[in-house]
Amino acid sequence: MHTFLRLNLHHPLILLTSLPTMTAFLALPSISLNSSSVSGLRNGKGAPLGIRSLGRSRVSMTASVGSQTLQSDALFADYKPNFAFLFPGQGAQAVGMGREAQSVPAAAELYKKANDILGFDLLDVCFNGPKEKLDSTVISQPAIYVTSLAAVELLRARDGGQQIIDSVDVTCGLSLGEYTALAFAGSFSFEDGLNLVKLRGEAMQEAADAAKSAMVSVIGLDSDKVQQLCDAANQEVDDANKVQIANYLCTGNYAVSGGVKGVEAVEAKAKSFKARMTVRLAVAGAFHTSFMEPAVSRLEAKLAATQIRTPRIPVISNVDAQPHSDPETIKKILARQVTSPVQWETTVKTLLSKGLKKSYELGPGKVIAGIVKRMERSAEIENIAA
């Protein structure tokens, strides 16, 4: 059986990518150790924004070759997580989000900054919708990015909030949420991150408009069975309609993306593979597949023009479920993220296996908390909404 429904808090669909790991440790001459303290979010002029420094000092390793300075991507290779911030992706949006954030000046200020960058009243759409408008890719992505960072400011304003923020030693986010995580970790300013997210949403929408594609969640199967289902569906369609797993969310919930005919074949065959159900996702198109290839060049150009710094804490990539410290590697991964499967299941399993004590979901919805609890019922996670 298959059903059609709007994207909601229980059916996220933003899931990320697989791309070869770009984490070579640079064994080059003239290696120097530099200790630097990287603050949190800052505006384009270098002045502190709302998210302050955690007061941590990181040692980065660089290698000078001629006039170029190359940085190792292995800075966080042996990270040991204790407390994590997890940020939601597209699908977590809901009309009314952001209302609580207006009670905290630093959070409210983020929406004002966003209005200038986006050219429309973001808070009005968050408050009043309509839902169809908020659900659109070009609006939901910046709305979730801003609201999630506003949630950080709400946490900071409460008793003990700054201590919680200071304790966080790893962060990650679902698809779009990776940009939020990088902003929190100081890799780029709030403004630069929002400009990237704005362009990302526009580029993904345009790529979706260029071809007939879709996404569907397959419920009740493990990843091997879903792959077999995709293989069976692909035997019945041409190359333009092939499907693949686009989001490894958690056991029993995987998103498949591809051409419309391929997705229809998945829906038709799912019951014979013992799937509990399929849920067609109300999204613009086949995210995290080659259907998004037209968006890559635009993202590459925008990323090339954006200053990205080594994050002050590990940020786990959706592409390979690894932390990266080299800014150029981070840029490459972000560009390819839209065409690669989201490795969220591996990310969460790795954090838990490494001894994660507690995590916080910051932003609209409780999708991530539900996933974490499904994977480990005893896991401690707290939602910080805005």
Dihedral angle, C-alpha 346, 324, 165, 377, nearest 10 °:
10
Indicate the pLDDT class of residue 71, thresholds 50, 70 and 90. Answer: low
Around Cβ 119, how many Cβ atoms within 10 Å?
A: 9
According to DSSP, the β-strands at 2-5 and 277-281 are: parallel
Distance CA(129)–CA(94), nearest Å, equals 8
Residue 100 has pLDDT above 70, yes or no: yes
In terms of pLDDT, which residue wins out, 13 or 350? Answer: 350
Mean per-residue pLDDT, 91-98: 95
Structure pTM?
0.83
Res. 284: pLDDT tops 80: yes
Burial of 145 (0-12, 13-18, 19+ CB in 10 A): buried
Chain segment 192-222, per-residue pLDDT in tens: 999 999 999 999 999 999 999 999 999 999 9
Query: Is 2 considered catalytic here?
Result: no
Instruction: Report pLDDT for 283.
Output: 87
Rounded to a whole number of angstroms, the CA Rg of the chain reads: 20
Q: What is the DSSP letter of 48?
A: B
Which one of 39, 72, 140, 175 is the catalytic residue?
A: 175
Which candidate in 217, 288, 317, 340 is catalytic? 288
Average pLDDT score over the chain: 86
**Among 143, 132, 290, residue whose Cα is nearest residue 208:** 290
Strand partners for 257: 215, 244
What letter would DSSP give residue 323?
A: B
- The count of C-alpha atoms lying within 13 angstroms of the C-alpha of 305, restricted to the half-sphere facing its C-beta, is 9
Query: Helix and strand tally (H, E) in the chain?
Result: 13, 13
Given a cut of 60, is residue 48 above it in pLDDT? no
> Which of 24-33, 167-176, 321-330 bottoms out in mean pLDDT, i.e. has the lowest?
24-33
- Tell me the mean pLDDT in the region 156-166: 98
Give 72's pLDDT tier (boundaries 50, 70, 90): confident
What local confidence, expressed as pLDDT, does residue 47 receive?
Answer: 37
pLDDT one-digit tens code per residue, 341-371: 999 999 999 999 999 999 999 999 999 999 9
Class of residue 100 by CB neighbours under 10 A (exposed 0-12, middle 13-18, buried 19+): middle
User: Which of the 8 DSSP states describes residue 256?
Assistant: E
Annotated active-site residue 175? The verdict is yes
* Whole-Å CA distances, 198 to 92, 140, 146, 240: 17, 10, 11, 28
Query: How wide is the angle at C-alpha 13 spanned by C-alphas 11 and 15, nearest 5°?
Result: 135
Find residue 64's DSSP bridge partners. Answer: 69
| Element spanning 33, H or E | strand 31-37
